Structure 1
């Protein structure tokens, strides 16, 4: 069976799909992953076919224009949106049609909604996936809302997602008419289609963390996380090993793919916070969220390392709250402290705190050494966090989200043939 996987975003939006794609390919399916240009070689390194959706996400987020998207300034965000994002959307539309139109099944991240339109033409099986809970439910509200509002209002909070096409509706409709031969798209379009096609919905989150009710639409499944195992090929260098041997287990601190507005200032605040807490730490610079500066002996700077291996060497994790890093920390059974920036990150920070797995989240934009230090001390000294994290880590380690997802995808694809 030919399967196209369409995704966009940062590393955390691609990594789970590599894990899923490899498992599907091992089952004999022909798999192609369409993703940001800077991840294509990574995908191909895992033995999968890939194609670029027309944007280099790392280059985008590391240039001044891209950083404006994270600034919180609405006018700056709109200008950047028009200048950079809109042209890239056109490329994504064209590439989605070019590469997915011959597929039997299309698996897609909601950021690549063109899958809906392509399947409308080809009749391909449509599988909408999510790395955090975005499918409408009466059980809990959309992730940007903090409370619970009752079944009716909970489900209503998901409606704004249906308006996302309004930003690009002229472009999408021109593409639908001229390339796909379709009528205009509805102004309000759910993330998983307009109801014309039956859609399988997979939420790649551990049911030990959050789960859609069994009474929900039978086409929504909480599969468990889709982990990509890369640690077995990682060889830590002598500097890393010497640092580990020289004292107590360090705390991991890293902000992944998220750049920050002033990396040097943030790094200095973090270093001072670590010193004040009297801890050892590993700092991961990632895509530039932290700056390479002179460090004391109790702090080791690295660029990156696979979390499934790195987290064996640390006592706790501090990060931005990306879905993938959160999942890795939970599986490792480690207390977690989240310093969110934007998108779904505040949601994970609140969830970790509510589950008793770590301190209250501290916004990355408001991070100062004094507050950061107090939270670090709480993170490593509060035994209730360690106990709760160990328990949930054991449960997640016994789950196989990729295997469950493959099982559901294959059953869905064969439903009309039985």
Structure 2
């Protein structure tokens, strides 16, 4: 197979695709990854051919996440339309260069769905969160966890409403660049123009969120796609010394989230750590934590590979991104989720339901006292035992191998279908 992977967003949106690309390449397939140029070094460091996407997408995403107010975020969002339209052209150029017969894409890579139609290629949506309609839980980007069967299923209509936001750019791309007919502004992104359902691969563990019984065969949960980088990273001597100097610390980091109120957030975290009597490692990410002076019980660094750092922690506290959630649970660590937005509350709810962490502590209500209570609960013997058992089960999965097997199956079915139809 010739496979083009496409994704954009933060590191958590790109890293799993690099892991998948490595397994595809190891299985003998031709593969390239189209993603913003800010990630080109990471892609090529792992031996994956890079397909160009302009960095404006990444830069604007970072600017929005760093914006100190919602008003500033809204102002920045006004520039997304033109950048998205340019990104669609980047995906098209990548497709013409790679000449793929299979597209595997994140929902944020808006062009792949249409380009696959144009080329008559196999396409698979790939996500770390479920977007296929079910009666078992609402669409994860909504802040509701129990609406009841038919309302749960109805909530997935929000995907078509969200698609309408980009419909002007995607229809302009379809008509002017691809020569295809425009689609309804509220077209379901989970369906092709002929009405058939797009196959979907969901890169998380069924041990955390079991596959719904009412899903069609086209929707499968593969297990997490982990990009192990521990052997490519040299920890600072100071970090090594800190870890060796006492009991395993608690990890606290919010990745690309939370530039606003970074000082107040860091102050609450330091107070919470002091209240628990635990040691801690803090990561600054894109500015979610700002600290002027650190107590001796706390170490701060910009970032570190999760597969190196998390196994050395006693518990992990983070924003609840799908990648961070799976990495912490894979390490067998109790997890405290302090969600900001999007699907993060959903994963916080699932972690609590699975018994591997306390109830999530939303950022809007984050205080030192509430965080200290959550950390104490996470470190209780009961939660530690559940997290250790979950970690063992997750480590027994091979998400990228299963994903590649499913991609191969889908491509075989697609070719057979087109042969039968005389395409």
| Superposition TM-score, scaled by structure 1 size | 0.93
1:193 to partner: Cα distance: 3.1
CA distance in 2, matches of 1:312, 1:158: 36
**Residues 58 and 121 of structure 1: CA distance in aligned 2, closer, same or farther (over 3 Å):** closer
Aligned to 1:172: 170
Aligned to 2:82: 87
Correspondence for 1:141 among 138, 142, 161: 138
- In structure 1, the gaps of 5 or more residues are none
- In structure 2, the gaps of 5 or more residues are 417-423
1:293 to partner: Cα distance: 2.3
* Cα root mean square deviation, aligned: 1.9
1:217 to partner: Cα distance: 0.8
CA distance in 1, matches of 2:324, 2:211: 22
Give SS of 2:406's match.
helix
Superposed, which structure 2 residues align to 1:34-113 within 5 Å?
A: 34-56=34-56, 59-63=59-63, 66-68=65-67, 71=69, 73=70, 76-83=72-79, 85-101=80-96, 102-113=99-110
Superposed, which structure 2 residues align to 1:256-405 within 5 Å?
A: 256-380=255-379, 382-405=380-403
CA distance in 1, matches of 2:353, 2:65: 32
**Residues 363 and 58 of structure 1: CA distance in aligned 2, closer, same or farther (over 3 Å):** farther
**Residues 12 and 170 of structure 1: CA distance in aligned 2, closer, same or farther (over 3 Å):** same
1:180 to partner: Cα distance: 0.8
Does structure 2 retain, via aligned residues, the 8 Å contact 1:206–1:225? Answer: yes
Does structure 2 retain, via aligned residues, the 8 Å contact 1:62–1:259? Answer: no
CA distance in 1, matches of 2:102, 2:346: 31
**Residues 184 and 62 of structure 1: CA distance in aligned 2, closer, same or farther (over 3 Å):** closer
Does structure 2 retain, via aligned residues, the 8 Å contact 1:37–1:57? Answer: no
Q: Which moved more, 1:192-201 or 1:334-343?
A: 192-201
1:124 aligns with 2:94: no
1:234 to partner: Cα distance: 2.4
Does structure 1 retain, via aligned residues, the 8 Å contact 2:163–2:188? Answer: no
Aligned to 1:2: 2
Does structure 1 retain, via aligned residues, the 8 Å contact 2:208–2:351? Answer: no
1:416 to partner: Cα distance: 4.8
Give SS of 1:267's match.
helix
Aligned to 2:202: 203
1:404 to partner: Cα distance: 0.3
1:138 to partner: Cα distance: 2.4
Give SS of 1:44's match.
helix
1:190 to partner: Cα distance: 1.9
CA distance in 1, matches of 2:31, 2:248: 41
**Residues 128 and 396 of structure 1: CA distance in aligned 2, closer, same or farther (over 3 Å):** same
Residues 369-388 of structure 1 deviation map (CA, whole Å, 9 limit, x = unaligned):
222222222222x2111111
1:61 to partner: Cα distance: 4.8
